[in-house]
């Protein structure tokens, strides 16, 4: 019987600057999984989406006022660049799947027919991505990994997965709910807040505010309104 748990840690730091000082905002989340589908959901929503973002992205081909590559070949070039990322090899080792074999293309300048070649590989690359996503969804990893990425100059992420064998390693697990993804946790905490005294008071205050707005509109002959959160316009 498998007596392993899978600990996912996500660390996020953001550098902020203003006229007076510099500081780091820090967030750290830890989740524990035993089920492949729940770990796969966390991988898809948090790791793969953030680190690889495999697939088409309109912003990828923009380079100021110019295109990086011919728009007709852009999707194939984007897939090729994504699948050459070292992160794919890390995930392949962790989940025991084969890396795709791709020819060497000039991805620095996308010259010498590289764009056309990447585009010709698109169907094969799309099938490969579907297969590895299905593999990750249906299987637990055999080893851990640590992946770092910076989606923006001021934001840094570290994704760390540890495979813990409870028969060999004593593990004082933190107080978390097993197989709860980041999305699940956010939804649960929102529901708990909604049922709290503070949440109920907030809803009651908002209901009273909306009633006052409707009364004001009816008394003054207004039929439409828009609000940006600070200002309400009626007509």
In which domain, by residue range, is 138 found? 4-192
Residues 49 and 123 in one domain: yes
Residues 142 and 122 in one domain: yes
Residues 31 and 56 in one domain: yes
Residues 80 and 173 in one domain: yes
Instruction: Report how far Cα 46 is from the mean position of its chain's Cα atoms.
Output: 3
The tens place of each residue's pLDDT in the chain, 235 residues long, gives: 467 888 889 888 887 665 554 445 567 788 888 888 888 888 888 877 777 677 667 788 888 888 989 999 999 999 999 899 888 899 999 999 999 999 999 888 898 899 999 999 999 999 998 898 889 888 889 999 999 888 777 888 899 999 887 766 655 445 567 788 878 888 888 888 788 888 788 888 888 888 888 888 888 888 887 877 677 788 8
Please say whether the beta carbons of 30 and 42 come within 8 A. no
Residues 225 and 172 in one domain: no
Q: Give the chain's domain count.
A: 2
Residues 216 and 100 in one domain: no
Q: With helix as H, strand as E and coil as C, how does 57-68 read?
A: CHHHHEECCEEC
Q: How many CB atoms lie within 10 A of CB 6?
A: 21
Residues 203 and 186 in one domain: no
Three-class DSSP category at 143: coil
* Residue 135 half-sphere exposure toward CB, CA atoms < 13 A: 17
């Amino acid at each position: 019987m498998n007596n392993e748990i899978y600990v996912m840690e996500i660390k996020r730091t953001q550098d902020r600057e203003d006229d007076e000082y510099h500081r780091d905002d820090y967030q750290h989340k830890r989740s524990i999984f035993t089920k492949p589908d729940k770990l796969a959901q966390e991988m898809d929503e948090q790791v793969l989406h953030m680190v690889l973002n495999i697939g088409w992205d309109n912003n990828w081909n923009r380079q100021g006022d110019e295109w990086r590559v011919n728009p007709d070949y852009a999707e194939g070039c984007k897939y090729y660049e994504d699948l050459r990322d070292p992160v794919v090899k890390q995930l392949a080792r962790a989940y025991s799947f084969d890396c795709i074999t791709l020819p060497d293309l000039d991805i620095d300048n996308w010259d010498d027919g590289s764009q056309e070649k990447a585009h010709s590989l698109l169907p094969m690359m799309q099938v490969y991505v579907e297969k590895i996503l299905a593999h990750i969804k249906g299987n637990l990893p055999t080893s851990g990994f640590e992946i770092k990425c910076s989606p923006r100059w001021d934001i840094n992420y570290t994704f760390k997965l540890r495979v813990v064998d409870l028969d060999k390693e004593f593990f004082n697990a933190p107080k978390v709910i097993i197989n709860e993804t980041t999305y699940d946790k956010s939804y649960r905490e929102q529901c708990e807040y909604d049922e709290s005294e503070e949440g109920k008071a907030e809803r009651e205050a908002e209901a009273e505010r909306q009633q006052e707005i409707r009364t004001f509109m009816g008394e003054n002959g207004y039929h439409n309104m828009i609000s940006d959160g600070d200002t309400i316009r009626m007509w």
